[in-house]
Structures are given as C-alpha cells and as structure tokens.
Amino acid sequence: MTGKWFDKAFSTASRHRFSFELHDLIGVLMRLYLCEKPSQGKDIAAVLGAKTRGDGCLRGPGVAVTWGIGHLLETAAPDAYGDHLKNWSLDTLPILPAQWKVIVKPKTASQFKVVKQLLKEATELVIATDADREGEMIARELIEYCGYRGPIQRLWLSALNEASIRQALSSVKQGAETYPLYLSALARSRADWLIGMN
C-alpha cells in the first residue's frame, strides 16, 4: 500500500516539477527583432503585440523589438592602428589595416548598450532592418561586434503598413540567404575608408 502511494505521489511531483521547469524554460525564450530605426521598430512591434515600453525597446510575451539609429558602429580612424597615424603624412601611406577595427559611435552609445544587452538575452534573432545591403550591414556588424551566436532569420519588408508586415512575417527568410548583402556592403565601406584615408 505504501509503495503504491509513494509511486503515485512521486509521479505527481515529477509532473509538477516538469511543468514548472517547462514554464521556466519558456519564460527565458526570447525572439529579438532588430530594426534600423525607432519608427520602423514601433510599426513592427505594433503588429507583434509588443506593447510594453522599455529602454530603447518594446516588449511582448516572448518577444522584444529594438533598433539602431542608423549605424551604431563605425570604422575606427587611422590613429586606432598606431600613434604614428595620428597626423596624416605621405611617409605613412598607404594605410592598410591588417585587422579592421570598429568602434561604438559616441552619439548613440546608449542605444548600443540596449542592443548589446538584448542580444545577450535573445535565443533567436530576426533582422528587421531595411531590405537592402546597408540595412543588412547595420544589423550584421552589431551581431559580429556583440558576439551573438544564436539562430538568425531575416524579415524582408517591402513596406511598413500592417498588411506588408504580416506578409513578411509569414515568409521570413533564413539568415544565410541575405548574408552576402552584408559582405557587399562591408567591401564598399572598407573601400571608401581606404580611398578617403589614403
């Protein structure tokens, strides 16, 4: 009799524990939408039902929407590669970085901190910047700089009205599909830097 009661009690306890563990697990899952600008983020958040205002973001059940203000990062100036490059001189040309350095833009540093923290919390990321190579770079440079290593998807938006957003949400792309756009934008950015600084 005791054995049957124990088995029943243990089984019930196990089910309750599993229920709590599942609840805790679901509680930490978060899909993060990374947008290019605040207005874009607010439009997408409205469709997702993310109505709770946070610092530089909007949150809903299992979802958060945040944004850049254009680029939050920029390629470092020549003096970041050595004191001998603080002043432009023919003697130090050409300047050809062996490893490129990127820095946080001072004017938007506070929003960068928000994005960085949310990328730490995210279990899945959806790039929701403009559907072009510059939009891709705005998101991808943040992903690389902040060291995000989770799954990535791409929201490919043609417009920001509700119908267009819902259509894009129903056909989200895999992140790998648009990664080449980032490489294209990165090549253009570095070429501009090399020409401008040399």
pLDDT at 163: 97
Kindly state the percentage of the chain with pLDDT values over 90: 79
Return the CA Rg of the chain.
Answer: 23
Q: Of all helices (H) and strands (E), which one includes residue 54? A: strand 52-54
Assess if residue 85 is contained within a domain: yes
CB 93 within 8 A of CB 60: no
Residue 139 has what DSSP assignment? H
Q: What's the confidence (pLDDT) of residue 47?
A: 98
Average pLDDT, the chain: 89
Boundaries of domain holding 135: 29-197
On whether residue 63 sits in a domain, the answer given is yes
For the chain, percent of residues with pLDDT exceeding 70 = 86
| pLDDT at position 53 | 97
Spell out the residues 6+ positions from residue 8 whose beta carbon is closer than 8 angstroms to its own.
none
Residue 8 pLDDT exceeds 50: no
Predicted local confidence at residue 6, as pLDDT: 40
Residue whose token pair is 């947008």: 35
11 assigned to some structural domain: no
The reply to whether 45 falls in a domain is: yes
Average pLDDT over residues 74-100: 92
Using alpha carbons, select from 32, 195, 5 the residue that is nearest to residue 122. 32
Contacts of 196 (CB under 8 A, 6+ apart): none
Our count of domains for the chain comes to 1
Query: According to the model, what pLDDT value does residue 79 have?
Result: 93
Assign residue 39 the CATH number of its domain. 3.40.50.140
Q: Is residue 130 part of a domain?
A: yes
pLDDT digits (tens, 9 = 90+) for 140-158: 999 999 999 999 999 999 8
Report the alpha-carbon distance of residue 168 to residue 160 in Å, rounded.
10
Question: Is 1 inside a domain boundary?
Answer: no
pLDDT at residue 114 tops 60? yes
